Amino acid sequence: MSSTSYGYSVDSERRRVIGLTELAALVVLVAVVCWLVFPRDLSDTLRNADLDAVTLSYSTAWLKAKPDDHELRLVLARDLIELGRFAEADKQLDYVAAKTARPSLLDEVQWLQARLPFVALMAMAPAERGGSALSARARVALAKVRPERLETAQLQRYAEMALIMGNLDLAVSAYHLLAVQAPPAWQWHRKAGDALLARGRYARASEEYILAMRAQQDGAGRADFLKAVSTLQAGGLSGQALGVAARWEGAFLNDSEVLYRLMSLARAAGDGVRAQHYAVLLLRLRKDEVRQ
What is the average pLDDT across 214-227? Answer: 93
Q: Hey, which bits of 66-112 come out as E strands?
A: none
Reply yes or no on whether the pLDDT at 263 is more than 70.
yes
pLDDT for 250: 93
Among the listed residues 196, 211, 156, the one whose alpha carbon sits nearest the alpha carbon of residue 178? 156
Yes or no: say if 71 and 43 are a contact pair by the CB < 8 Å rule: yes
Yes or no: say if 60 and 37 are a contact pair by the CB < 8 Å rule: no
What is the average pLDDT across 115-142? Answer: 95
pLDDT for 15: 47
Cα 284 from chain centre: 49
Distance CA 159, CA 140 (A): 15
Residue type, 5: S
* Sign of the alpha-carbon torsion through 191, 196, 200, 205: negative
Distance CA 192, CA 206 (A): 10
Reply yes or no on whether the pLDDT at 194 is more than 80.
yes
pLDDT tens track for 42-72: 566 666 656 666 677 677 888 888 899 999 9
Distance between start and end Cα atoms, the chain: 126
pLDDT for 52: 62
Domain boundary assignment for the chain: 31-112
CA dist list (Å): 258 to 11, 26, 208, 283: 104, 83, 19, 13
Reply yes or no on whether the pLDDT at 208 is more than 90.
yes
Peptide bond into 184 cis (omega under 30): yes
Which residues fall within 8 angstroms of residue 259, CB to CB, at 6 or more apart?
252, 253, 278, 281, 282, 285
pLDDT for 200: 97
Among the listed residues 186, 173, 268, the one whose alpha carbon sits nearest the alpha carbon of residue 230? 268
pLDDT for 224: 98
Q: Is the whole-model pTM more than 0.75?
A: yes
Reply yes or no on whether the pLDDT at 120 is more than 90.
yes
pLDDT for 46: 60
pLDDT tens track for 16-36: 455 666 665 565 456 445 545
Q: In the chain, what percentage of residues exceed pLDDT 90? A: 72
Among the listed residues 227, 236, 290, 287, the one whose alpha carbon sits nearest the alpha carbon of residue 258? 227
Give the relative orientation of helices 185-198 and 168-181 as an angle to the nearest 10 degrees: 170
What is the average pLDDT across 91-114? Answer: 97
Yes or no: say if 130 and 112 are a contact pair by the CB < 8 Å rule: no
Lowest mean pLDDT among 22-36, 91-105, 187-201, 278-292: 22-36
